[in-house]
Amino acid sequence: MRENHQYKDFQATRLYCNNCGSSMPVKERLLLILPDGYLYEYICTGCGKAVGDKRVSLSREDKILF
């Protein structure tokens, strides 16, 4: 058990990049705003390619704002 994994909101800052062939630091970029959340894209800082994405649902509090 690693303590790091207890943090739910811990951001993935390294992802495996096929292009670079190793785990690379990534930047998070907002790609799309969806009716029920946001779609983020992870960009490899080594080659600039998208290596993954993440969908974040709006919390209940955010939905009230709509």
Q: Under the criterion CB under 5 A, does residue 17 sit at the interface with Zn ion?
A: yes
Strand order across the beta sheet in which 22-34 lies: 14-17, 22-34, 37-44, 50-57
Q: How many CB atoms lie within 10 A of CB 15?
A: 15
- The three-class DSSP label of residue 19 is coil
Is residue 56 within the footprint of Zn ion (CB under 5 A)?
no
Shortest distance, CB of residue 25 to Zn ion, whole angstroms?
10
20 near Zn ion, judged by CB under 5 A: yes
* Closer to Zn ion by Cβ: residue 42 or 44: 44
**Binding residues for Zn ion (CB under 5 A):** 17, 19-20, 24, 44, 46-47
